[in-house]
Structure formats: structure tokens, C-alpha cells
């Protein structure tokens, strides 16, 4: 499906949710990789996201949940296919990680605004991902490579080696794990600090759990470094209707993660809600 962009440059979503089919699932360490055939959806920009809900068995989990669709940024989006990385952490992700090939899934999106490229010929890009925040960073890394930028640095943080297994395919990436069972022992933000020590003018792109993003935000704010953060938030709709995904702004008031983000310039944010 062809890409239509809106006035602010985002890839527009088809109106309404659409039926897609699971093409493959694969367990990699702690994660499940899900491939969908999405013939009626356009390819998304890195950092945009989709709302997912299974056609059957949505609501059949603990506490009669899930009820609302769940937001995920794809790792890849091309040729009528979408690739997601999931971890079973609640009733929504539990249902999604038990999907079988051939099952049907409701998909809406792509929603939100993705990453903005660094200026041509400009500074080095450092891409930072924490755990489940990996997919949009992977998509963005691939996009930057396709644009001919060969100076990006990939920093990936995970809880442990079982979670880090998914990073095996990324040659040249620096890995950190909380327990030291793979790569650097400690937080990925420590790797970022070391990189910024060597290159204080780099551009930072980050996605990960809220505490990690808040650490990145505080770090780049203290050093005057430009950064784009891809946030996650609980949300009911994904397209600006529910106002549930409020994030406090430095200038006061709130933005909606779904329509104003999920990618924000770090200096626009007051704090990443944790």
C-alpha cells in the first residue's frame, strides 16, 4: 500500500482498524518475534506505532482482560508485512505472545510521529535501546544505514542474557545487562555516558522503559546534548481521542504521547513519567 503523508509529515493511517494475519512467530530468549501480513496498511516510519488486538480471545485472560488494544512500535515495516517484538508481561502481551501462525489480529495505525533524521553531514548518531524499547531503534538504525549514514553507534541494554539474546544479530552493537550475564555489567546509560565523554556533540536517539528514558533525559539535559526519546504510555486509542497518555512538558501542561509523540525532543519534556 502506498504512503500518504499528512501536513506535519507523518505517515497517515487508514481510517479504522483492519484485519491482519500472523505469518510467523519465533521465540528468541525472553521475547517473541511476531510477523504479520498487513496488506491494507502502509509502511510506517521508524518510531511510529500500531495498536494491536487479537480478533478472538481478547478479553479471555486474567480479570476478563485485555479489553483495550495495545501499542507497539514495529521493528520492521515493509512489503505489506509488520514485525513486532513482544514480551509476556500482562494479559495483553500474554495473549499476543501465544498467537499462532494463521490467527487473525486487528491492527490500527501507523500512529504518531517517528524519529527525525540528523541534519545532512551533521553529527554522529548514538542509538540507545533498553529491553522492549529495541524495535523502533532497530527500525531507525536500518533506516539511517539505508540513508548512507555509516557512523551510527548502537547501545543496547537488557535485564540479563536471556533478554540480550535478541541482540545477537546486531554486529557492532555494545551490550549492557543489569546482571552482567552478557556484555557490560550495568545500565545502558553508562555506555551512553562513556560515548558522550568521547563525543559531546553526538545526537542521541533512545527508546526503552520509562526509568531508562528518564535517566537518558536527565543525562542529555545535564550535558546539553540533543536527543529524541520514543516514549511508551498506557493508552486506550492511539489516535488522540482518549487523552489518556499525557506526558508533562517543560513549558507546562501536557502533550499526548500518541499524537504529539511518541518521539519527543528530550528538552520539550519536563520528565518521563515513570
Partner 1 sequence: MTAVDFCGIALAHPVVNGSGTFDAIAARRVFGDALLEQFPFSAYVSKTITLAPRAGNPPPRLWEAPAGMVNSIGLPNKGVEAYLAEDLPQYAALRVPLITNVMGATGEELAAVTAAVGERPEIAAIELNVSCPNVATGLDIGSVPAELEAVIRRVRPATAKPLIVKLTPNTADVSLCAQAAEAAGADAISLINTLRAVALHPGGGARRWLGGRQGGLSGPAIRLVALAQVAAVAERVALPIIAMGGVQRGRHAAELLSAGATLVAVGTESFRDPRAATIIQRELAELPRDDRAAKGQRRDGRAGSPVYYPANEHKTLDQGQQQ
- The CB-of-135 to partner 1 minimum distance in angstroms stands at 20
In whole angstroms, give the CA distance from residue 110 to residue 12. 7
The angle subtended at Cα 261 by Cα 257 and Cα 267, nearest 5°, is 100
Query: Distance between terminal CA atoms of the chain?
Result: 37
| 259 forms part of the interface with partner 1 (CB under 8 A) | yes
Could you give the string, one character per residue 16-35, with x where binding to partner 1 holds by CB under 8 A and - elsewhere? Answer: xx------------------
Could you give the string, one character per residue 174-213, with x where binding to partner 1 holds by CB under 8 A and - elsewhere? Answer: ----------------------------------------
| 53 forms part of the interface with partner 1 (CB under 8 A) | yes
The angle subtended at Cα 60 by Cα 59 and Cα 63, nearest 5°, is 75
Between residues 82 and 154, which has the closer beta carbon with respect to partner 1?
82
Q: Which region, judged by CB under 8 A, interacts with partner 1, from 24-32, 63-71, 78-86, 212-220?
A: 63-71
Is the Cα dihedral 58, 42, 23, 233 positive or negative?
negative
Q: Which of 198, 204, 241 is nearest to 220 (CA)?
A: 204
| 233 forms part of the interface with partner 1 (CB under 8 A) | yes
| 248 forms part of the interface with partner 1 (CB under 8 A) | yes
| 102 forms part of the interface with partner 1 (CB under 8 A) | no
Which strands make up the sheet holding 31-37, listed edge to edge? Answer: 70-72, 49-54, 104-111, 18-28, 31-37, 81-86, 76-78
Phi/psi at 19 (nearest 5 deg)?
A: -85, 130
Between residues 10 and 81, which has the closer beta carbon with respect to partner 1?
10
Binding residue for partner 1, selected from 28, 104, 162, 246, defined by CB under 8 A: 246
Do the beta carbons of residue 115 and residue 57 sit within 8 Å?
A: no
Q: Which residues bind partner 1 (CB under 8 A)?
A: 4, 6-8, 10, 12-17, 53, 59, 63-69, 106, 108, 111, 233-237, 239-248, 252-254, 256, 259, 273
Amino acid at each position: 500500500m502506498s504512503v500518504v503523508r499528512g501536513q506535519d509529515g507523518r505517515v497517515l493511517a487508514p481510517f479504522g482498524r483492519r484485519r491482519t494475519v500472523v505469518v510467523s512467530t519465533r521465540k528468541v530468549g525472553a521475547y517473541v518475534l511476531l510477523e504479520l501480513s498487513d496488506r491494507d496498511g502502509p509502511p510506517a516510519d521508524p518510531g511510529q506505532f500500531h495498536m494491536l488486538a487479537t480478533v478472538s480471545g481478547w478479553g479471555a485472560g486474567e480479570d476478563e482482560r485485555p479489553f483495550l488494544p495495545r501499542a507497539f512500535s514495529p521493528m520492521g515495516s515493509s512489503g505489506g508485512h509488520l514485525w513486532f517484538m513482544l514480551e509476556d508481561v500482562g494479559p495483553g502481551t500474554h495473549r499476543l505472545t501465544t498467537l499462532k501462525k494463521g490467527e487473525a489480529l486487528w491492527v490500527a495505525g501507523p500512529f504518531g510521529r517517528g524519529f527525525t533524521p540528523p541534519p545532512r553531514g551533521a553529527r554522529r548518531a548514538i542509538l540507545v535501546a533498553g529491553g522492549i524499547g529495541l524495535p523502533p531503534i532497530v527500525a531507525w538504525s536500518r533506516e539511517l544505514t539505508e540513508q548512507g549514514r555509516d557512523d551510527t553507534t548502537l547501545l543496547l541494554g537488557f535485564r540479563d542474557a536471556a533478554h540480550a539474546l535478541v541482540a545477537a544479530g546486531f554486529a557492532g552493537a555494545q551490550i549492557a545487562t543489569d546482571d552482567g550475564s552478557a556484555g557490560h555489567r550495568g545500565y545502558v546509560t553508562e555506555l551512553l555516558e562513556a560515548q558522550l565523554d568521547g563525543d559531546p556533540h553526538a545526537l542521541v536517539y533512545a527508546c526503552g522503559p520509562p526509568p531508562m528514558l528518564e535517566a537518558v533525559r536527565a543525562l542529555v539535559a545535564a550535558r546539553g546534548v540533543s536527543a529524541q526519546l520514543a516514549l511508551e504510555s498506557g493508552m486506550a486509542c492511539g489516535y488522540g481521542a482518549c487523552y489518556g497518555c499525557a506526558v508533562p512538558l517543560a513549558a507546562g501542561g501536557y502533550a499526548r504521547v500518541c499524537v504529539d509523540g511518541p518521539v519527543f525532543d528530550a528538552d520539550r519534556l519536563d520528565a518521563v513519567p515513570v
